[in-house]
Structure 1
Amino acid sequence: MLNYPDINPVAFEIGPLQLRWYGLMYLIGFATAWLLARYRAGKPGSGWTRQELPDLITYCALGVIIGARVGYVLFYDFFSFISRPWELVMIWQGGMSFHGGLVGVLVCLWLYARKTNRSFFTVSDFVSPLAPLGLMFGRLGNFINSELWGRPTDMPWGMVFPDHASGFVSRHPSQLYQAFLEGLVLFIIIWFFSNQKRPKMAVSGMFCLGYGVFRFIVEFFREPDAHLGFLLMDWMTMGQILCVPLIFVGLTAIVLAYRKK
Structure 2
Amino acid sequence: MMLPSLQAFALPFPDISPEIFSISLGGFEFALRWYAMAYLVGILLGWALLRDAIARARLWPAETAPLTRAQLEELLTWLILGIVVGGRLGFVLFYQPAYYLTHPLEILRIWQGGMAFHGGFLGVVIATAIFCRRHGIPMLSMADGLALAAPLGLMLGRIANFINGELWGRPTDAPWGVIFPGAAAQDCAGPVGIVDGLCARHPSQLYEAALEGLVLALILILAAYRMGALKRPGLTLGLFVGGYGVARFIVEFFRLADQQFITTDNPYGHVLRITETIGLTMGQLLSLPMVLIGAGFVLYALTRPAK
Same fold, TM exceeding 0.5?
Answer: yes
Q: Equivalent of 2:22, from 7, 13, 36?
A: 13
More off after superposition, 89-98 vs 183-192: 89-98
Which residue identity is paired with 1:225?
D
1:35 Cα offset (Å): 1.2
Q: Is the 8 A contact 1:20 1:92 kept in 2?
A: no
The structure whose Rg is larger is 2
1:187 is aligned to 2:217: yes
Q: Is the 8 A contact 2:238 2:294 kept in 1?
A: yes
Q: Which runs of structure 2 are paired with 1:198-213 in the superposition (5 Å)? A: 198=229, 199-213=232-246
Which residue identity is paired with 2:237?
S
The 3-state SS of whatever aligns with 2:270 is: coil
> Structure 1, residues 170-213: CA drift from partner, whole Å, max 9, x if none?
00000010011100100001111122333111111111110000
State the partner residue of 1:173. Answer: 203
State the partner residue of 1:230. Answer: 270
1:219 Cα offset (Å): 0.5
State the partner residue of 2:91. Answer: 72
Q: Is the 8 A contact 1:22 1:92 kept in 2?
A: no
State the partner residue of 1:30. Answer: 43
Which one has a larger percent helix, Structure 1 or Structure 2?
1
> Structure 1, residues 41-99: CA drift from partner, whole Å, max 9, x if none?
22134513322221122211111111111001111111111121122122222211111
The 3-state SS of whatever aligns with 1:95 is: coil
The 3-state SS of whatever aligns with 2:259 is: coil
Structure 2 CA distance, aligned partners of 1:90 and 1:187?
31
Q: Equivalent of 2:174, from 155, 158, 163?
A: 155
The aligned length equals 261
Which residue identity is paired with 1:37?
L
1:104 is aligned to 2:123: yes
Structure 2 CA distance, aligned partners of 1:128 and 1:98?
14
Structure 2 CA distance, aligned partners of 1:184 and 1:192?
12
Structure 1 CA distance, aligned partners of 2:112 and 2:16?
15
Structure 2 CA distance, aligned partners of 1:27 and 1:177?
22
Structure 1 CA distance, aligned partners of 2:153 and 2:203?
19
Q: Equivalent of 1:3, from 12, 16, 20?
A: 12
Structure 1 stretches of 5 or more lacking a match? none
Which residue identity is paired with 1:245?
P
1:128 is aligned to 2:141: no
Structure 1 CA distance, aligned partners of 2:139 and 2:103?
36
State the partner residue of 1:255. Answer: 299
Q: Is the 8 A contact 2:180 2:186 kept in 1?
A: no
Compute the TM-score of the two structures, normalised by the length of structure 2: 0.82
Q: Which runs of structure 2 are paired with 1:130-145 in the superposition (5 Å)? A: 130-145=149-164
> Structure 1, residues 213-233: CA drift from partner, whole Å, max 9, x if none?
011000000001111121112
Structure 1 CA distance, aligned partners of 2:162 and 2:108?
21
The 3-state SS of whatever aligns with 1:17 is: strand
1:219 is aligned to 2:263: no
Identical aligned pairs, as a percentage?
Answer: 43
Q: Is the 8 A contact 1:190 1:207 kept in 2?
A: yes
Which residue identity is paired with 2:211?
L
More off after superposition, 17-26 vs 215-224: 17-26
